[in-house]
Amino acid sequence: MGQTALRITRTDKIMNSNNLIPGKHVVVTDFDGGEGILVDLNTKKYFQLNETAMVVWKGLEQGKNVGQIADDIVARYEVALDNATRSVERILDNFQNYKLLTAK
């Protein structure tokens, strides 16, 4: 029962993340290989992103929701939709924890 309650809370948080966009205080640079760097101008911290995290970031820049970003990952890589969705959720959690996103 505890796991079910935890899952509901996590799902609610991720649904709310459909209203998130990259913060204006964050600068992104992408590299030819698909990886990239985010720089938080407020904290002066930088974050190295792998290809999947860059797909998520670019999706957010385009106003896409979790499902649309997961679809992009499925189209680009050989991965099941449920795995792609979990990856998007995890990456969004990380972006939120570091305060790199703002509400629409």
Q: What is the pLDDT of residues 55-99, one digit of tens each?
A: 999 999 999 999 999 999 999 999 999 999 999 999 999 999 999
d(CA 52, CA 42): 25
Q: Residue 103: is its pLDDT beyond 70?
A: yes
The confidence score (pLDDT) of residue 16 equals 54
Q: Residue 1: is its pLDDT beyond 50?
A: no
Q: Which amino acid is at 81?
A: L
Where along the chain do its domains lie?
2-103
Residue identified by tokens 């959720």 is: 89
d(CA 101, CA 56): 12
- pTM above the 0.85 mark? no
20 close to 89: Cβ distance less than 8 angstroms:
no
| CATH class for the domain made up of 2-103 | alpha beta
The confidence score (pLDDT) of residue 84 equals 97
Q: Residue 19: is its pLDDT beyond 90?
A: no
Angle between helices 2-16 and 81-97 (to 10 degrees): 70
